[in-house]
Amino acid sequence: MNRIYFDNAATTAIDPQVVEAMLPFLQNGFGNPSSIYSFGRETRLAIENARKSVAKILNAHPAEIFFTSGGTESSNTAITASVRDLGCKRIITSKIEHHATLHTVEYLDNRDEAKVSYVDLLPNGHIDLEHLEQLLAASEEKTLVTLMHANNEIGNITDLHAVGNLCKLYNAIFHSDTVQTIGHFNFDLRSTPVHFISGSAHKFHGPKGAGLLYINENVHIKPYIHGGGQERNMRAGTENVYGIVGFAKALQIATEKLEEESAYIQGIKYYMIEQLKKHIKGVSFNGDPMGRSNYTVLNASFPKSEKSEMLLMNLDMDGICASGGSACTSGAQQGSHVIRAINSNPNQIPVRFSFSKYNTKEEVDAVVQKLKTLI
């Protein structure tokens, strides 16, 4: 059976060039980067070269780039440190954030370490910036705003500059989960008013277990993980050398062909919208798919029926990989918290299709034909 993989927002296939870059550090270059002899210094050099490469691509200073185990650790670190070290007693977020954010802020709220407020959402799923400003203006305590750049389930994109400028106006700390956008959009962190961003290599054809935390040079926090003082005493634990090398290589490849590949992937997304409208009666789309939206993500809702209730399982049986929401909650029975927040219609079955440079329009045709038989 030929598998059609339309779940690239969950994870992406690792690029062969990334594997090639990592292999020397999986085989002979296994020295501990903290060792003082040449074998260790070689791996230390690989890490620092990776840091410089990532910093250059994001237009940040190398000292602002910290490597982590992934987006979850990065977001946990930024949010917890904002409360613990930067004096934030209030957190503003949204109900459609990734659970790495939502569960962290809920934990801090339950421990009475910070009070959490949720910004309103517009009918199309975008953040209500007017309400965000009202919340900031009403806050008498130091505030952390944590809002994702692109939603992982519906693809909606938040304007980092608009949010960041509001935070600057009200002296708030701003963290953004950019896990779905690093490697897919150009970043200029020198001119973006943000204190922290989180990233993860496996969302842009890099390895799993390799993440990034950007900490603006004007922000001073204490380590989240204590130990040997690695990552300039900010993230203890022997470095994931091959993962870090893979992160930098994947980001380099993604950036070099960004314009060409983003146009190609967006073409696939728009083609699928067109074909679904043409062939599936009653289909609708969640979020703002033709507007301010991530070109890799399309969330469609199909009419609920006896046949469509097992839609994802039936697609899987036919070798088609798609999801009902975040891969981190795919085993849960309660459905997508994102879709519930913007579209509570019980007569619809939401499915997320997400695309990469390896997908084709022929695959879209095959999926749409299969959907016709299942709905």
Are the C-beta atoms of 342 and 156 separated by less than 8 Å? Answer: no
Which residues are tagged catalytic?
328
Residue that the structure tokens 């040449």 belong to: 38
**Which residues are paired to 118 by β-bridges?**
93
Are the C-beta atoms of 265 and 357 separated by less than 8 Å? Answer: yes
Find the largest Cα–Cα distance for the chain.
Answer: 67
Local structure of residue 15 (DSSP, 8 states): P
Q: How far is it, in rounded angstroms, from Cα 147 to Cα 176?
A: 5
Q: How far is it, in rounded angstroms, from Cα 44 to Cα 262?
A: 33
Residue that the structure tokens 């090398």 belong to: 245
- Identity of the residue numbered 170: Y
**Which residues are paired to 352 by β-bridges?**
299, 323
- Find the DSSP H helices in the chain: 16-26, 38-58, 71-84, 99-110, 129-138, 160-169, 230-233, 241-256, 258-279, 311-317, 337-342, 361-374
CA distances from 138 to 132, 133, 144, 208 (A): 10, 8, 13, 41
Q: Is 25 helix (H, G, I), strand (E, B) or coil?
A: helix
